[in-house]
């Protein structure tokens, strides 16, 4: 049986994540307040950020930047725009 959450991003009740996808307090907040659909949206945005800014998850500075962006994406002002990004489609 699926777990439902009141998703902070979608502003509706939706299917929750099956497990914590990120460690620590931020991961706990995400697990409790973010739906699977919203998490998929973040993963897509994170991929754009990593590709556009040439980020590496093994670089501590890049990881910190991505964590800050994740927090903003779900609990802050929303996603940051990416300079020079031309949407496809």
Taking residues 4-20, what's their average pLDDT? 97
Specify if 54 maps to a domain: yes
Tell whether 42 is covered by a domain.
yes
pLDDT tens digits for 23-81? Answer: 999 999 999 999 999 999 999 999 999 999 999 989 999 999 999 999 999 999 887 77
Q: What is the CATH number of the domain that holds 57?
A: 1.10.3880.10
The answer to whether the beta carbons of residues 20 and 30 sit under 8 Å apart is: yes
Average confidence (pLDDT) over 5-27: 96
Name the pLDDT band for 87 (thresholds 50, 70, 90).
very low
Is residue 21's pLDDT more than 90? yes
Residues spanned by the domain of 35: 4-75
Provide φ and ψ at 58, rounded to 5°.
-85, -10
Does the pTM surpass 0.75? The reply is yes
**Counted domains in the chain:** 1
Which residues, in sequence order, are bridge partners of residue 63? none
85 belongs to a structural domain: no
Dist. CA 64–CA 16, nearest whole Å:
25
Q: Is residue 66 part of a domain?
A: yes
For residue 83, being part of any structural domain is answered with: no
């Amino acid at each position: 049986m699926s777990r439902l959450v009141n998703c902070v991003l979608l502003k509706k009740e939706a299917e929750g994540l099956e497990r914590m996808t990120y460690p620590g307090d931020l991961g706990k907040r995400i697990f409790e307040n973010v739906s699977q659909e919203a998490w998929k949206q973040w993963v897509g945005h994170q991929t754009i950020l990593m590709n556009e800014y040439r980020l590496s998850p093994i670089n501590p500075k890049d990881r910190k930047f991505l964590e800050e962006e994740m927090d903003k994406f779900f609990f802050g002002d929303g996603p940051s725009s990416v300079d020079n990004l031309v949407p496809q489609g």
